[in-house]
Amino acid sequence: MLKILNFINGNHCEAVNKNFIENSNPSTGLVYSTLPDSDEQDVERAIESAQNAYNSWSNISAESRFKILNRIAELIDEKNEELALAESIDQGMPLWFARTQVTLSAQNFRFFATAAMQYSSTNHSMEGNYVNYNQKSPIGIVACISSWNLPLYIITWKIAPALATGNCVIAKPSEFAPATAFMLSEICYQAGLPNGVLNIINGRGEKAGNIIVSHPKIKAISFTGKLSTGKVISTLAAPLFKKLSLELGGKNPVLIFADCNLEKAVKETVRASFLNQGELCRSGSRILVEEKIYNNFKKAFLTELKYQSLGNPLLNDTKIGAIVSKQHYDKILSYIEIAKAEGGKILFGGEPVFPKGLENGWFISPTVIENLKNESICNREEIFGPVVTLTSFKTEVDALEIANSTDYGLASSVWTENIQTAHRIATNIKTGLVWINCWMYVDTKSPFGGMKNSGNGNSGAWNIMDFFTEQKNVYIKY
């Protein structure tokens, strides 16, 4: 049994209360690890250790920070296979995909290591012999709370910029996929990160997470998770005037126009729908197809699905792995039932799958549903699983109206060979990310984040460096 521990002041430890939570391997349905069920006592210890470390960490040179963060990146790269295997077993994603996410996690540290060296203040001359400059200082102790869907990638996407800007961090991985954050703590220790600079608290969201968010000494929270949790966190944080970076859910439209390269559009839309079991905030879940090619697209899309092998995440040819938890598996299946009740026609899948040897695991067939109204629950609420809906549209105006009709606004992809259509859609669609004739690409140099209820768009590049700092303007008369 793998025993995941908290990481406080450079030491691995159980929860003070000795309570723990069981965590299962989604491919087998069997408990294979335990993690601390942390409470106030653990959070207090983490805060104390962060406080003790802060003065020194916030004052060391940017180059010293760079060296440690860059070393963490190197160690993540060196342990790629080990981390990927742990991620795949813990989360259910195919191993080959986990390897790509570990590589990106190393890149997160490398990018923000170098960003620490480049981050600078501005100054402005003013009329009347005045000059002003701004100082960017770390905030102090910040929280990084992450989801289970890309466990290592998302937590490093937060921790790296928080550390690069000189903050001390209390991180909380998801209780459903805590393994690689535990391994990261060991890597940080090996890389020479001083004790107390990064503390990792495991536990339940509504308990440990809540305590972290409410703690008066934590002044900024970077959160990735559900819209409903984002609302709870906003409510707790607002009276304490904490800074919030929220990366929330999506109900992402894919717009397929009749003039697109159909073969590419079909292949990439299958990927956009089912990569990581459809458990990506960027997954396309509402496929809108121009009426003229609806039947052709549908036929090609359903044919392509036959090549999406589902099963053991550790096998090289597996495209679709297991669903992270029983709770989430039940939730996805319940949405499929809702879709049926709403008059949806299941074109493909729509049911659990029991791969040979993994009959107790949580697998769901890729599922394609048509005939649902735009107002239906399954076209509005985030399912976050291998379930997509197909809808036809007549004109570009209709397509935009449908695309913009949910409360979410995270990402969209558009397939057309007409550059004018592409630009018009990119301008008028209400999503923080737009991919034209592609999907999934994210550049760490660029801002990242959703519009509307998908978050407040504070992530990526300098945005997140600014988020993790406080700025002060100094005016001088000379």
Sole binder of ligand NAD in the list 450, 453, 458, 460 (CB under 6 A): 450
- Residues 382-401 interacting with ligand NAD (rule: CB under 6 A): 382, 384
CB-count exposure of residue 29 (10 Å: 0-12, 13-18, 19+) = middle
- Per annotation, catalytic residue among 87, 247, 290, 370: 247
Residue 251 CB partners (closer than 8 Å, separation 6+):
285, 286, 379, 380, 381, 382, 406, 408, 410
Q: Is 42 in the site for ligand NAD (CB under 6 A)?
A: no
The answer to whether 365 and 310 have CB atoms below 8 angstroms apart is: yes
Active-site option among 144, 188, 260, 281: 281
Q: Which is nearer to ligand NAD, 200 or 266 (CB)?
A: 200
CA distance linking residue 358 with residue 340, whole number of Å: 27
Q: In terms of residues, how long is the chain?
A: 478
- Minimum CB separation of residue 408 from ligand NAD in Å reads 9
Closest by CA position to 2, among listed 228, 174, 246, 179: 179
Question: Distance between alpha carbon 328 and the CA centroid of its chain, in Å?
Answer: 16
Does 281 participate in catalysis according to the annotation? yes
Task: Tell me which residue of 455, 449, 412 sits closest to 226, measured CA to CA.
Answer: 455
Choose one: 16-24, 101-109, 205-213, 314-322; the region binding ligand NAD (CB under 6 A).
Answer: 205-213
Distance set, CA 88 to CA 100, 111, 270 (Å): 11, 25, 21
Q: Does 467 bind ligand NAD (CB under 6 A)?
A: no
When asked if residue 242 is in the footprint of ligand NAD (CB under 6 A), the reply is no
- Rounded to 10°, the helix 151-164/62-78 angle is 160
Candidate list 233, 275, 300, 388; residue touching ligand NAD; CB under 6 A: 233
Size of the site for ligand NAD (CB under 6 A): 31
- For residues 146 and 421, which CB has a smaller minimum distance to ligand NAD in the complex? 146
Shortest Å distance, C-beta 2 to ligand NAD: 19
User: Please, which of residues 165-194 interact with ligand NAD by CB under 6 A?
Assistant: 172, 174-175
The one among 107, 229, 367, 444 contacting ligand NAD by CB under 6 A: 229
Phi–psi pair at 425, nearest 5 degrees: -65, -45
Would you say 175 or 370 has its CB closer to ligand NAD?
175
Q: How far is the CB of 152 from ligand NAD (least distance, A)?
A: 12
- 406 lies in the site for ligand NAD, by CB under 6 A: no
* Least distance from ligand NAD to the Cβ atom of residue 229, Å: 3
Residue (252 or 392) nearer to ligand NAD, CB: 252
Count the helix, strand and coil residues of the chain and give each as a percent rounded to the nearest 5.
40, 25, 35
Q: 42: helix, coil or strand?
A: helix
Contacting range for ligand NAD; rule: CB under 6 A; set: 8-16, 246-254, 350-358, 392-400: 246-254
463 touches ligand NAD (CB under 6 A): no
Task: Identify residues 276-315 at the interface with ligand NAD (CB under 6 A).
Answer: 281
Place of tokens 């938890």: 325
Angle at the Cα of 427 (from 423 to 428), degrees rounded to 5?
120
Residue 438 annotated as catalytic: no
User: Smallest gap, in angstroms, from Cβ of residue 448 to ligand NAD?
Assistant: 7
Residue 351 is a binding residue for ligand NAD (CB under 6 A): no
User: Interacting stretch for ligand NAD, rule CB under 6 A, among 25-33, 73-81, 353-361, 449-457?
Assistant: 449-457
CB 236 → ligand NAD: shortest distance, Å? 7
User: Which conformational region is residue 192 in: left (phi greater than 0), alpha (psi within -120 to 50 degrees), or beta?
Assistant: left
266 close to 307: Cβ distance less than 8 angstroms? no
Residues 6+ apart with CB under 8 A from 18: none
Nearest-CB residue for ligand NAD: 205
Interface with ligand NAD includes 206 (CB under 6 A)?
yes
b or e along 59-72 (b: 16 or more beta carbons within 10 Å of the residue's beta carbon)? eeebeebbbbbbbb
Residues with a known catalytic role: 247, 281
**List of residues contacting ligand NAD (CB under 6 A):** 145-149, 154, 172, 174-175, 205-206, 209-210, 213, 224-226, 229, 232-233, 247-250, 281, 382, 384, 410, 450, 454-455
